[in-house]
């Protein structure tokens, strides 16, 4: 870094661009909109500092965890497996993922959004809730059934091996699969509450509005209230993660003896930061459809392919 900045005189602007893969899509969109156009040294330096810290915090791969057979061995011998799941495990249920060519963000190009992520931005929701509710039925969990990947996580719990399942999904299918040791990092449609008074209702109370593409009104707020609308308890950009996440994550990272990621691009913090905080000696494996460029040197083993197919193969090898 010293060579590039002081000897080769590469600008901070170019150095920040070179570390683009160290930022989530949302963070990078903010950097592009507010920091790069102005190119002020303090802001660029702050971005570069974060990127460099993330880059050099990369773990060293474990020499004894390199193959599918090693993953099978870990599943057989581990007793405190921390599982992180993403949208990839629900695709076979009929629920679109976010970043594939036919995923949610691709579909959102039909809406008048500056950025597809605005659909899940809290301030944008408060400004134009009708936009979210014109789309919400696409992701509302109705008659979906658990996938083999969901059932694999449930099987780990049944075997007494699951420390915790941290899911980024909002479909609540883990509950249908029988997983109890689960943290819904990004919330779910299970409940909804008023953005003004906080009045909470079961998610089923707004289901008719969701499918009618209608903004549900708060039954407690007076009509004169500034924003008497209900919002599902899914975590939008600009909101804190549920308290349950922060209550369990530190202890779980210290206890985990194996980390398994299934079907996630790991681009949204703070869930994406879990991997960096787990002690380096703990094996880390990912099952995903494609290689993640920003984490290609992080995991001990990458099992690439359809998640349902991969977990079925693992179960066959384990005799489960």
Instruction: State the pLDDT at residue 238.
Output: 81
Active site residues: 186
Alpha-carbon 318 to chain mean position: 28
What is the Cα Rg of the chain in Å?
Answer: 21
194 annotated binding-site participant: yes
Tens digits of residue pLDDT in 76-118: 999 999 999 999 999 898 877 776 777 777 777 777 777 878 8
pLDDT bracket for residue 6 (50, 70, 90): very low
Q: Give the pairing of strands 230-234 and 187-194.
A: antiparallel
How far apart are the C-alpha atoms of 72 and 7, rounded to whole Å?
48
114-to-32, 67, 118, 234, 266 alpha-carbon distances in Å: 13, 43, 7, 21, 23
CB atoms within 10 A of CB 64: 10
Which tokens is 242 given? 């549920």
291 or 152: which carries more pLDDT confidence?
152
pLDDT bracket for residue 312 (50, 70, 90): very high
Which of these, 147, 148, 173, 153, lies nearest to 75 by C-alpha position?
153
Instruction: State the pLDDT at residue 56.
Output: 58
pLDDT bracket for residue 10 (50, 70, 90): low
Residue 4 confidence (pLDDT) above 90: no
User: pLDDT above 70 covers what percent of the chain?
Assistant: 90
Instruction: State the pLDDT at residue 54.
Output: 65
How far apart are the C-alpha atoms of 58 and 55, rounded to whole Å?
6
Whether the bond into 64 is cis, omega within 30 of 0 = no
User: pLDDT above 90 covers what percent of the chain?
Assistant: 55
Instruction: State the pLDDT at residue 156.
Output: 98
Instruction: State the pLDDT at residue 24.
Output: 67
Which tokens is 19 given? 């570390």
230 or 271: which carries more pLDDT confidence?
230
197 annotated binding-site participant: yes
Residue 7 confidence (pLDDT) above 60: no
Question: Which of 7-11, 113-117, 206-210 shows the lowest mean pLDDT across its residues?
Answer: 7-11
**Phi then psi for 176, rounded to 5 degrees?**
-65, -35
Same CATH topology for 62-95+145-186+240-319 and 98-138+189-234?
no
299-to-22, 37, 210, 261 alpha-carbon distances in Å: 16, 35, 39, 10
What residue ranges do the domains of the chain occupy? 12-57, 62-95+145-186+240-319, 98-138+189-234
Instruction: State the pLDDT at residue 55.
Output: 65
Instruction: State the pLDDT at residue 155.
Output: 98
Cα torsion 239, 240, 243, 249 to 10°: value is 140
39 or 202: which carries more pLDDT confidence?
202
CB atoms within 10 A of CB 138: 12
DSSP H helices in the chain: 2, 12-18, 25-34, 41-56, 68-77, 104-107, 122-127, 129-133, 148-158, 173-177, 207-211, 243-255, 274-277, 307-318
Average pLDDT for the chain: 87
Tens digits of residue pLDDT in 260-300: 999 998 877 778 778 888 999 999 999 999 998 878 889 99
How far apart are the C-alpha atoms of 234 and 237, rounded to whole Å?
10
44 or 159: which carries more pLDDT confidence?
159
- Residues 227 and 196: beta-carbon distance below 8 Å: yes
- Residues 296 and 265: beta-carbon distance below 8 Å: no
Given CATH 3.30.70.20, say whether it is the number of domain 98-138+189-234: no
Mean pLDDT, range 31-57, rounded to an integer:
71
How far apart are the C-alpha atoms of 77 and 132, rounded to whole Å?
45
Which tokens is 81 given? 């497996």
Residue with token string 């008497």: 228
pLDDT bracket for residue 178 (50, 70, 90): very high
Which of these, 216, 139, 143, lies nearest to 176 by C-alpha position?
143
Q: Which CATH superfamily is domain 62-95+145-186+240-319 in?
A: TPP-binding domain (3.40.50.1220)
């Amino acid at each position: 870094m010293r060579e590039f900045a002081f000897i080769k005189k590469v600008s901070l602007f170019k150095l920040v661009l070179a570390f683009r893969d160290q930022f989530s899509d949302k963070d990078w969109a903010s950097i592009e909109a507010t920091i790069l156009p102005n190119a002020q040294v303090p802001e660029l330096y702050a971005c570069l500092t974060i990127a460099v810290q993330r880059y050099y915090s990369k773990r060293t791969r474990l020499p004894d965890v390199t193959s599918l057979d090693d993953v099978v061995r870990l599943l057989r011998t581990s007793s405190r497996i921390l599982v992180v799941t993403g949208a990839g495990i629900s695709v076979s249920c009929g629920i679109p993922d976010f970043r594939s060519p036919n995923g949610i963000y691709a579909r959102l190009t039909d809406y008048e959004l500056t950025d597809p992520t605005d659909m899940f931005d809290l301030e944008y929701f408060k400004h134009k809730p009708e936009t979210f509710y014109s789309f919400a039925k696409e992701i509302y969990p109705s008659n979906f059934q658990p996938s083999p990947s969901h059932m694999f996580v449930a099987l780990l719990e049944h075997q007494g091996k699951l420390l915790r399942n941290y899911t980024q999904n909002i479909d609540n299918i883990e509950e249908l699969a029988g997983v109890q040791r689960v943290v819904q990092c990004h919330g779910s449609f299970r409940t909804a509450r008023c953005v003004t008074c906080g009045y909470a209702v079961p998610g089923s109370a707004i289901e008719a509005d969701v499918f009618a593409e209608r903004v549900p009104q708060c039954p407690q707020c007076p009509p004169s209230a500034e924003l008497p609308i209900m919002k599902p308890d899914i975590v939008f950009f600009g909101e804190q993660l549920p308290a349950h996440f922060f209550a369990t994550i530190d202890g779980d990272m210290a206890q985990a003896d194996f980390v398994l990621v299934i079907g996630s691009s790991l681009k949204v913090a703070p869930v994406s930061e879990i991997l960096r905080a787990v002690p380096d000696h703990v094996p880390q494996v990912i099952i995903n459809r494609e290689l993640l460029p920003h984490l290609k040197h992080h995991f001990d083993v990458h099992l690439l392919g359809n998640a349902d197919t991969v977990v079925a193969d693992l179960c066959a090898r384990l005799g489960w």
